[in-house]
Amino acid sequence: IQEQLQKLAHLPSQTEDGWQMNLAANISSVKELDLVIRNGASGVGLFRTEFLYMDRSTFPQEEEQFVVYREVAERLQGKPVVIRTLDIGGDKHLDYLALPEEENPSLGYRAIRVMLDRTDLFKTQLRAILRASHYGSVKIMYPMISSLEELHRANELLEEAKQELREAKVPFSEEVEVGIMIELPASVMISDLLAQEVDFFSIGTNDLVQYVLAVDRMNEQVAHLYDPYHPAVLRMLKMIVDNAKRFKTHVSVCGELAGDIRALPIWLSLGIKELSMSVQAILKVKNSLLQSKYSDTEGIWDELSKCMSSSAVIEVLGRYLETDLA
Ligand code: PEP
Ligand code: MG
């Protein structure tokens, strides 16, 4: 099967009736780039930068980060890479950053919350990303945004980082796009406001499912309740996409659900044109995409919106899924 799938890598990424859908990769390290390129990904839709900070004893300096980000940008040869600023805390921790023990780490001090406190670390990372933007198509993404204030503060710091580079005459792209993860229910509910202030949304279904359903994504005991096909999740997806459309904000999906072929009819019915997933999932999703008909997806949302349970959702999706894989 793998050999057959590999042949799809160079085919255009579209449905049988010509609806284009970009299939990008989620990566955590430069090592994964070989496979990203081999599998014909449209770019990197999520570069998780945590791993640059892990397994070491001090923070990586600006230069060190820049070298990594530039390498990714250059190797993609003009295809975009979305670099997410440090998403530490919750399940990911750093030995040299003494974060307090917390009763509820995923509701605690993490990601953008830490970075807006530790502006030294944030600006170092932003300068490194900005510098890389001179060498390819680089976009910046903030994780865990819950309010306009956080977005504004992050953008202020980004503006300071840009100004510092300008003064030092270090080149960067003035057009670098800025987007946010939509992964908290709060950001879904204000997605109309957020959409007016960013270039793109990337829906993080991993955390979104956790927070919508109040189910810790790391806790085995409640794993059976962690349900991406819950009607509550579907309604949130619809709301995000509707608000983004109103303001012509680009939307992609980068949580695990993007790489699950069963979900493909959802994305088609919502008119989503970009998915980002683990490198291993790309060709499987592409195989299904190539067999799907966009024109068949028109009625799907109507049916999904009436589902009263996730098993009903999965049943509907099963009827629309086109794949020759088991
Ligand atoms: C997500 O939350 O869906 C996501 C893509 O980010 P992470 O899994 O790194 O939290
Ligand atoms: Mg997340």
User: In the numeric block, which tokens belong to residue 146?
Assistant: 């819950």
Give me the pLDDT at residue 80, please. Answer: 98
Mean pLDDT for the chain overall: 96
Q: Which atom of ligand 1 is nearest to the CA of 204?
A: 3
| Four-CA torsion 34, 38, 43, 45, nearest 10 degrees | -70
When pLDDT is averaged across residues 228-252 and rounded to a whole number, the result is: 98
SS3 171: coil
At a CB cut-off of 8 Å and minimum separation 6, what does 205 contact?
A: 183, 228, 233, 253, 254, 255, 256, 257, 258
72 and 48 Cβ atoms separated by less than 8 Å: no
246 is in an annotated binding site: no
The residues facing 25 across adjacent strands are: 44, 277
Banded pLDDT at 1 (limits 50, 70, 90): confident
Nearest to 13 by CA among 39, 50, 52: 39
With a Cβ cut-off of 6 Å, ligand 1 is lined by 46, 48, 87, 183, 204-207, 254-255
Distance CA 210, CA 217 (A): 6
User: In the numeric block, which tokens belong to residue 206?
Assistant: 């991993």
Prediction ipTM score: 0.99
DSSP code at position 85: P
Q: What percent of the chain has pLDDT over 90?
A: 91
At a CB cut-off of 8 Å and minimum separation 6, what does 319 contact?
A: none
Phi/psi of residue 283, nearest 5 degrees:
-70, -30
User: In the numeric block, which tokens belong to residue 120?
Assistant: 């030294």
Residue 262 CB neighbours (<10 A)? 17
pLDDT surpasses 80 at 326: no
At a CB cut-off of 8 Å and minimum separation 6, what does 1 contact?
A: 325
Closest ligand to C-alpha of residue 206 is 1
List the residue whose alpha carbon is closest to atom 1 of ligand 1: 204
Classify residue 23 by burial, with Cβ atoms within 10 Å: 0-12, 13-18, 19+.
buried
207 is in an annotated binding site: yes
**Comparison of pLDDT for 63 and 3, the residue scoring more:** 63
261 and 284 Cβ atoms separated by less than 8 Å: yes
84 is in an annotated binding site: yes
Q: What is the pLDDT of residues 118-152, one digit of tens each?
A: 999 999 999 999 999 999 999 999 999 999 999 99
Nearest to 126 by CA among 76, 80, 163: 163
Q: What is the pLDDT of residues 157-214, one digit of tens each?
A: 999 999 999 999 999 999 999 999 999 999 999 999 999 999 999 999 999 999 999 9
83 and 138 Cβ atoms separated by less than 8 Å: yes
pLDDT surpasses 80 at 288: yes
Q: Which of 254, 263, 264, 268 is catalytic?
A: 254
List the residue whose alpha carbon is closest to atom 9 of ligand 1: 48
DSSP string covering 306-326, please? T--SHHHHHHHHHHH---S--
Q: What is the pLDDT of residues 62-98, one digit of tens each?
A: 999 999 999 999 999 999 999 999 999 877 788 898 8
Residue 254 known to be catalytic: yes
Give me the pLDDT at residue 23, please. Answer: 98
